[in-house]
Amino acid sequence: MTTVVLVVPDEDPKTKQDFHRIAEAITSEGISARLVRHRLAEQIPLLPLWLSQSMSIAMVRRTDRKLLPGKFFSGVKGSKIDEYRTLSAAGVSVPRWEELRPDTKLDPAEWGPYVVEKPSIGRAGANVRVRKIGRVKFADRSSFPPNHLGRRGPMIIQKFVYTGEWPVSYRVVTVFGEVVLCYRQTTQRGEPLRARWDFGKGGTAIVSNTRTMEVVLDANPEMMETAKSAHRSAFPDVPLLNFDMAKDIETGEIGIFECHPCFPYWPFSSQIHASIQKANGISYESQFDIMATIGRAIAKKAVETFP
């Protein structure tokens, strides 16, 4: 029998409960499941599994193998540049981008009159700005303020995706290519963008992922199919991905802004996501029975790994 070893990523009681439910779902599919923390003392009893059919999974972060047996699945560290290259190489749609360099020259006929400038190592929309194309200019990392994320890695220029008067995006969470959560996030802050290039008035927000965002559970078929396909083709051995994506309302194109292949925490027990659910009167669990869906996705991966 195949054995799946799951690394429980933290000590939160909700996380432990989640992983027990995931293990139960795996077991119901006829596959043995064991839970451990990332501690050598707990992993020593796993040594006999090296002689049997097994796989170990660290759902979040990039985890060192230590004594975890069998086929090993974990997150992958990297910047947005690394993500974009991997996604593009797999044929996944990413809004046009390039690293901002001293010799960067942008053609308005190809990029439009405005572009998005953002850090390659970022978080929660920090330091993401719209720039008039003629004002885009390379800056050395040392010239940024101390807390600017441009100090940590190169800046990126990306083609603007117009989602309407207000910024709208989707978060789609997948486990080995199966969707376990899909919601829409919208922010109405500042001035509405009534036309694609109507940035002249100023005060227009382009980031939907803010503290004041409205979050609605929305199992959008296009978004889910795009995320499923992207996960399977670009990161087939990364257990958990959190896609940030949007649809351009004029071109109809769906673009992926990020997929977080090294997500830093278990999203279903974090304070951040508990606050999102409370503020918007929603429950992630009500959409797809998340833990059972995760368990089935892992069981499916086990069958694919050991046919």
Give me the pLDDT at residue 141, please.
Answer: 83
At 239-274, the pLDDT tens digits run: 999 999 999 999 999 999 999 999 999 999 999 999
Spell out the CATH class of 76-94+162-262.
alpha beta
**Residue carrying structure tokens 């989640």:** 18
At 59-112, the pLDDT tens digits run: 998 889 999 999 999 999 988 999 999 999 999 989 999 999 999 999 999 999
Q: Select the more confidently predicted residue: 63 or 57.
A: 57
Q: Are 223 and 171 in contact (CB under 8 A)?
A: no
Residue 277 to residue 287: CA distance in whole angstroms: 12
Give me the pLDDT at residue 83, please.
Answer: 95
Q: Determine phi and psi for 97, rounding to 5 degrees.
A: -150, 165
Q: What is the pTM of this model?
A: 0.94
Burial code (b: 16+ CB inside 10 Å, e: under 16) for 83-114 equals bbebbeeeebebbebebbeeeeebeeeebeeb
- Looking at the predicted structure, is the pLDDT value of residue 126 above 90? no
At 149-162, the pLDDT tens digits run: 778 789 999 999 99
- Looking at the predicted structure, is the pLDDT value of residue 125 above 70? no
Pairing type for strands 178-186 and 3-7 reads unpaired
203 band by pLDDT with thresholds 50, 70 and 90: low
Residue 244 to residue 84: CA distance in whole angstroms: 13
- Looking at the predicted structure, is the pLDDT value of residue 24 above 80? yes
At 135-148, the pLDDT tens digits run: 999 888 878 888 78
